[in-house]
Each structure stands twice: as structure tokens, then as C-alpha cells.
Structure 1
Amino acid sequence: MTAPAFRIVADGLGFPEGPTHLGDGAVAVVEMQGQRLARVDEDGTTTVLGKLGGGPNGSALGRDGALYVANNGGLSATRSGGYWHAPEPFDGCVQRVAGGQVSVVAAGLPGPPPHRPNDLCFGPDGRLYVTDSHNWEDLRNLRPGRIAAVAADGAVTQVAEVPAMPNGIAFGPDGRLYVAQSLTRSILVFDWTPGASLGDPKVFAKLPSGSPDGMCFDSGGDLYVCASVGHCVHVYDAGGTLKQTIDVPAGAQPTNCCIGDGRLYVTFSMTGRLAAYELAIAPLPLYQGAIDGGNS
């Protein structure tokens, strides 16, 4: 199968991750090594929306128009295979960015530190669901990660413990919660009930190559999964069958994706680019919520 064409929307980004479609051809991306949240317009113009510090890793749009960011506190992979550390690291948290102002809406996440929030999405109950990959920089002594839920008043609850590095997260059209488990190459799926813990997951799919990272659903129920070290995006149908593999340039490291304007937007983290694939697809409508308060 011929690989779909793509274009580079923006270049020179500082390890982009966590894209969120904003409408009218605009996409928000976090820059882990740039320590900021940026808006990329269709013509490639990049505007800084907020200086975040740490290592921003994922973003989600709230119903209040704010962008919510999972910030791991200051850690990123590098092209050499080592780690980048922020000059002023902190324990990971969830931040809110609106009108150029940055506030913390969830700190002191559940479980022992370090907390390394990775990705996030709003659920049917309006809570913000966040994966915490825990001490992923120490793979020999890796401890289980967590999934936390942040309520509108900022209250944080642990809803699951997930070993082997929980990563990307998204609610599917079936109302279940899908989570990438990077070190097993698996996509896990949790049944979801309002106000309850998630219970034990099932394996929805196992990637044939690469490690699952960020992901998103289209309106038809297909799941697009970035295989970060496999240099591709795998596409699965609602039953977990692999439909298509979209190759990306070698060394690009696709880390996360979103859908809008008929396009699949993919962050090429290692090469500092945001790419757009013209696939004539529409996004699954996302749940939204808002979190009050926070400290600037």
C-alpha cells in the first residue's frame, strides 16, 4: 500500500508532543525541551501560548477554552539515546493555560514520587484522566504507573495502577478507556463506570512494531496509535484488528497525534516537526470539562 502523502506544517520545535486540534487549521503542541505550549497555524506560524517549565508531555482542550497540560516535571528522550533534564525540574503536575496565564490545577498526584504525568483526556463525567508513567527514566527499577482522575474542583483520585509505563490515553466510541502500555507494546482497554475505579484491563491490541505512545480515534471508530520507536502509525478497527500501517520518516519518532480539518496531525518529536497527513477523516468528538482554581 502506498504511504499517504504528508506535509510539514512546522519545523524547529523543541521535541513537540501532545497535539490538540483547535479548529481552522490550528493545532496546539507542547514542546518538552522548549518547555512551552505553542499554537501552530495552518501556514506554519507558531505562537507561544504559555511558558510551562518542566517537561510538558500532553495537552487537552477544556470546555472553558483553556488547554490542560500533563507536565512530567522536566524529562525527555534525546537523539543520542540519553535523557534531557530541565534546568529547574519539579515533581510532575497538571497545568492550565488560558489567556497567556499558566496555573497548576493538580499537584501532589497519587502514589510515591516521582510523578511524571504523560498524557491526558477528559472523560464522560467531565473529569480529566491522566496517565502517570512514574519513574520511566529508570527502566531497571521501573515501578508501576498510575491513572489519576482530576475533578472540576481539583480533587485528584487514583483510579488504576498500570505497570510497564502507561502512556497515551483516550476514550473510545464505546465509552471505554484506552491506554497505551509502552513496554509491552499493548493497547489496554478498561471498562468505565462513573465514580468507580477502572478495575482490570483487557488487551485490545498488541503492536507488531514500535512502542505505543499517543493515540486518537476517528469518527468511524478507528484508533490511530503512534509507534514512537517503530517510526510508524498503526491504525486499528473497533475490534482491535490492524487495518493499516502508516510509515513516517526514519528517525522522526512519532509520539502523538490528533485529527482535524480532514487531517491526521502527528508530532515528529526527534526532528522537531509537526506533520499533517491528508486522510479525509473526521475526529471522534472529544469529551470536555473544566477544572477550577489553581496557582499561577
Structure 2
Amino acid sequence: MDIELVAEGFEFPEGPIAMADGSVILTEIKGQRLTRVTPDGAKQTVVETGGGPNGAAIGPDGAIWITNNGAAFEWLDVQGMCVPGPTPASHTGGMIQRFDLESGKLETVYDACEGKRLVGPNDLVFDKQGGFWFTDHGCSTPEGRKHGALCYARTDGSHISRQRDHLISPNGVGLSPDERVVYVADTQLGRLWAFDMEAPGQLGPQPGFAPGRVICNLPGYQLLDSLAMEASGKVCVATIINGGITAFDPDGATEHYPFPDLICTNICFGGDDMRTAWVTASATGKLYKARWPRPGLKLNFNG
């Protein structure tokens, strides 16, 4: 696959959004901001968010919705690469933010769920009803890991619910084309989960002792990050250590597309035929573009 370097010099980029004008808006987790990248590679700060902006998506209101982990990482320089480290003692939790592109207003819509503070919101996806699924990644502690969750919320601030709790490290989240399945990539497990819905915004009962269906566990030591869906139903997950994108079939078969970074964190699709893929290469602070072999799934709401 031929890949093109679009821009570099980012502080741990994530959460790319393919905009209608050909630009890409992405988050910079370490930089604590959203940045617009034009097709010629020029960069412009969109908004300073504070905390740790991770995932981003256009909502039904045309605003950018942000899963902010609340500065859940210390940042390490490892052989010239920017690597997320332990959670600092100053971390108190994360939030869901809304940024209005027209007015420039940034607000926090949710910082708790069912009376419990959000730990480290990570990724999100909007359904056809205009609500959104999001992952809470959890965080590290000196005693061990604080587990995460899969949640659902509405944009008017009226509802937020924890649909699956006590997940190890839920990261990327996406919806099947028919919106009957929520896919979640677990970072530490190298596992892609599938959660079946019984109604919009509501998961069915757990299948026995497992929280969901296991699509695939990657072999060896590979970690998973954020994801995007193909129109065919394949799930494209950014892969760490084995740097690149791993495409999962719903039946568990995989294929890997390498990119030159150990910590690839996300992918999004755009262009007239949805075959332009943008990939965030976070350890080296770069944004790449590639011609994907198949079209991505068009999101319900776009900028």
C-alpha cells in the first residue's frame, strides 16, 4: 500500500475527522488541543481543550464531540518516540466535551455516569438516532489498573448509561453497518469485542460469563487502539507494537497494513468514494494518507 505523509510535528495525534472541505481535524492528546490539517499539510489550532482530548466526532448538531481523558498520561521520550506513560497523581477523571465550530464555545456535557466520575473517556461513535456510544479506557494506578467501561449517552445531556462495566482497557468503538452490533477494541488484551444490541443505545444481556462476543485475539504482543468501520462490515483497528492497521472480519479473520510507527492510534475514511484513509502515527507525531483497498463506512454525521 502506498502511503503519503500529510503533516508532522503533532503532539501525539489521535481522533481524526475527515471534513467535507478535504481537511482533517484531529486531536493532540499531549498538546491538549484540536488541530485542523489542510490538504497541503498546513496546520491551524481549532481549540485548546485542556486535559487529554482523545476521540472526536461530528454530532447531529454539527458540533465536534470530544472524549477527553483528563490528562491521564505522563509523557515519556523513548528512543526519540513520544510514548504515553503512567497516570499522574494529579489526574481526577475525564469528561465528554462539545465544541461549537460556529460560536467557538467549548463546554463539558458529561463528567460522570450513574454517580461515578468518568475515568478516561477515549473514543466515540454516533448512531442514527443521534446518540453516541463511547469507551471509558480507565487508567493506571500505583496498585494496578482501574478498569473501564462501554457507555451510551444523548447529546442533550438527558441520559448517560454504563452498558458494560469492568472492561480491562476499552479503546476504539464502532457500529456495524446495520447498527445491531457495537465493536470495541481492548488495548491491553489485543482483543476485538462485539456487543449485540437489543435496542438503539441498549445492549442485550451478557452471553454467560463473558461481557460480549470475542471476534479475535491478536497473537503475540500486539495492542489495539481506536478504529473505523468499512462499508463491508470489516473493522479497521489501529495497532500498536505491530504498527499499522489491522482489518478484522466479523468472523475473526484478519489482515494487517503496516505504517511506519510503533504506535498507530486511529484511522478515518473520507473522499468521494470513501477510500481515502487517514492514519495517526502518534509516537512520531505524524498524519499519513493512503488509498484504502475498500470503501470506509460513511458516518451518520459529517463536517
TM-score (norm 1): 0.87
Superposition pairs for residues 108-187 of structure 1, below 5 Å?
108-110=112-114, 112-113=116-117, 115-134=119-138, 136-138=139-141, 141-154=144-157, 155-175=159-179, 176-187=181-192
Task: State the Cα distance separating 1:66 from its structure 2 match.
Answer: 0.9
Q: Which moved more, 1:60-69 or 1:110-119?
A: 110-119
Runs of at least 5 residues in structure 2 that lack an aligned partner in the other structure:
207-211
8 Å CA contact 1:186–1:212 kept in 2: the answer is yes
Q: Output the CA distance in 2 between the equivalents of 1:97 and 1:82.
A: 25
Cα distance, 1:151–1:189 mapped onto 2, change above 3 Å: same
Secondary structure of 2:65's counterpart equals: strand
8 Å CA contact 1:33–1:84 kept in 2: the answer is no
Q: Does 1:58 align with 2:55?
A: yes
Task: State the Cα distance separating 1:230 from its structure 2 match.
Answer: 2.0
Report the equivalent of 1:259.
Answer: 269
8 Å CA contact 1:147–1:162 kept in 2: the answer is no
Amino acid at match of 1:141: G
Q: Output the CA distance in 1 between the equivalents of 2:99 and 2:86.
A: 24
8 Å CA contact 2:195–2:203 kept in 1: the answer is no
Task: State the Cα distance separating 1:83 from its structure 2 match.
Answer: 2.5
8 Å CA contact 1:54–1:88 kept in 2: the answer is no
Alignment equivalent of 2:38, drawn from 34, 38, 41: 41
Report the equivalent of 1:293.
Answer: none
Secondary structure of 2:112's counterpart equals: coil
Q: Output the CA distance in 1 between the equivalents of 2:184 and 2:201.
A: 19
Q: Output the CA distance in 2 between the equivalents of 1:156 and 1:248.
A: 36
The number of equivalent residue pairs is 283
Report the equivalent of 2:296.
Answer: 283
The alignment yields a C-alpha RMSD, in angstroms, of 2.4
Task: State the Cα distance separating 1:48 from its structure 2 match.
Answer: 1.4
Q: Output the CA distance in 1 between the equivalents of 2:135 and 2:124.
A: 6
Q: Output the CA distance in 2 between the equivalents of 1:51 and 1:82.
A: 20
Secondary structure of 1:137's counterpart equals: strand
Higher strand residue share? 2
Percent of residue pairs bearing the same amino acid type = 30
Runs of at least 5 residues in structure 1 that lack an aligned partner in the other structure:
290-296
TM-score (norm 2): 0.85
